[in-house]
Structure 1
């Protein structure tokens, strides 16, 4: 089998492409299924949690409304007057009962409003209660009730003329707002059936259920009345701990596994608990798996057909080329092959016909460029013959001059030492503009002492340029060229000006003198020789070594747009400039 594949590029390409397509498709299908399954579960949980938050919002509104109503009622003037009165007042009694009845009737979730009097007089009721379970609840939870200014009771029953009502109530004492004496007890009862209707109409999964638990994790409201007032563990035996404000828990195993979502109502400790059978969203995963498998299968069939077709189409020119090369004589020159194709195969054949000559020319060009760069760098750093000896000797001369009280000689030797130290600079090619300018100033200082009164030099450098990196040893050769070929050949003293400016992302440096200048013919010849030097051609000795060296190094390090630009007028002077890009670091 391996030999059968090895004899045909077409078979190998087909196999490799099929493997390269099939494996990613299978992996993509598996990952897509896993992601879709996770997303389905997360969406079900997120949707359930959003539903719990919506229910909690309604319950919070109801609870807050009841608490606000209770504060309003215990401070209502007519109710306070009736409770504080020592005599029965039928008119005021009837007026207060009517007020409370209207208030309770306007809110569907209120089952009854009751105010019992500490004096034992008839209580105020919005509903005729034949028997209330509240007294028993208050007696059972007396410590909790007495210890708070408002207390929510567990579920209990009120037997009224309309039948049995299951309620839970907000209970709080009513006090005189002048002397805070206890006048009675206010209880606002919420109809549990109405709250259960909210839970049933919340859009929860039909096979699941929602519970409202009190602060003791007993069922306060449920769609099934049999669960009321029972601990939640009776409905969910293996109920995990609900330690956070909200969260998602898992209970049970296998097909019996259920997802439990809970959300805590702020300030009361009540919890909304929603239960969803895990199988509900796992059934959706089966559908996702089927869709993924069908999609991957179709993609595999289409990909296989396309691979066979495209491999046949691509390898057809190579097959013909192979047949032509079978009978080729190795002792004869490699023949050229004509191919009309303009794609990569055609380019390959045409490139094969030309590659020998091309490689040779590229080799020669690379060798020439490397030789030019090495020559320029060696010439620029030729002063590194014996740096330690030079430094020690110059240091000795410097101290000897100071001991002999000859500060001018000491300063000149110090400048020379700094000049040489920068020139060597541990072999580094780049330096900040500030060091390059200082190096040029040291050179100018030494020459000013040698040729006292023959020239003056001024530097005008944009401060923004000073920290930027540049190729070193560029300014000093240009200043030396101006001094030797321009100023010293002139009878009267001259001036040299060094400018530096930042232009966008480039820096421009200029060395300008007031020397003899050059005739147009000589200027043209120098420009021509600089161009020839940039191309690697030999130049005549008439061109300054400094100009040639700087020009070549600029071209090699910064490219063809960075060479020297020379301008000159006879009798007026010469200006040499170059423009280089701003580099980010010294090492570039």
Structure 2
């Protein structure tokens, strides 16, 4: 009993049902996995595109917020500049340390303090630079320095740049408040600022006398975009045209050179990068007015979090459907394999010689069709054996006929030779020449089974053919071979030009054309042998030419269709393509009333 069960199990695992189950499940799993992969990638791609669009809108909003902040700072600059105390300072020559000069400096210093206190939220500090002095104040420090020409703002060229770009401001960042005091940075609270630097002059004067600096806290600039950050791993910063990070949601990056380099000339772009083991999406946007770049970097995992839920659903559906498929498949296969087993037994019996046996129960499906065909085969097998015997007999008859056909060329040569001698006896030279030419034409047909011959042999064959055609058409045909000597021994398909010459003569000679000239040219172009056959016949109408061109690639089904126009060209074209491929073949060009040219392209190395 155990042995029977073991054999049954082995039989199941070797059965066609088990194989079909394995194949079906494997294909289904491949399709499902591929589909899941494509859905996953498509979802990621769609999420990326949506994120790009969403981030672009955020960038536009950030740009608006930044420009609003910049406009507010510029407004403070103009209010500060028109103050009477400031105007007195700008008008005066503050080189000498006179009592009046010191008093003006004190007045401006007081005005700066008032302004910084008035604009508590947006304004950090104000500085007025001349070539020789600095006056400035913040909420925590103040400076009145008579040696301003040694300050970083002047030595770095920022002072001169502000004068040159006037009336447009220069925005400068990546520095701290201490930068204006030339003191050591406080590492605990460096106090990064963004500087508005712009030239200044007294009213009604054309010459710029100083530079005004308005500093805003970097956090004010950060507030214009930081609200768009949704995760601790989400990172956003502003980089100036030189690559310096002037504002960032990460304090440690302020004042550092950005590692990411935007593509020159591209104002908005999204790219994927890999840092270590982390894949990131980087999106940047260029603010036109300042040349700053707003850049956002975040891990692609943030986009994938929504897709993970979809993956879990797909996996659940995958497992449930796999179980259902296996159960349904097993029951379905039993309905298929049981009739197959019966069919196998009957076939085994028929193999032992029991002809005419049939299966009574025929299912109404494709398998039933197979069983019906088996029944028909079993009932008709004796008839097939008889027919097979008849076929063998017919084969022998065809072999005898083939042997007789091999004898016919010798009989034909002997007959032509006899006609030639009879014509010579009767001094009928034209008949002699015709018979000799015909013999020369027939000789290569039977002398060799090779499909190729030398160009020289093909030309000799054509000359004999032209002789016969001239006797037929009363010497109305002239022909010329224009073939370089080095091509005469190259191989060419045997008898490939005769159908083209025949078309030129038969269709070219009419009542309107009393004589036809045919030129056969041959040239070597790169690795191709190109043959041109041209005539000065009546040409072909556009409609007929289109029909011939369309028919070049149609197969020839039977002998009756060989009477159709263009069959010779079609036969030649198919011979070429069957031998060398569709790259080669025939091209035909004709103008009505001006003649026809047929071009044949063959591989140069076809004989090697």
TM-score, normalised relative to structure 1: 0.50
Higher relative contact order (Cα pairs below 8 Å, separated by 6+ residues): 1
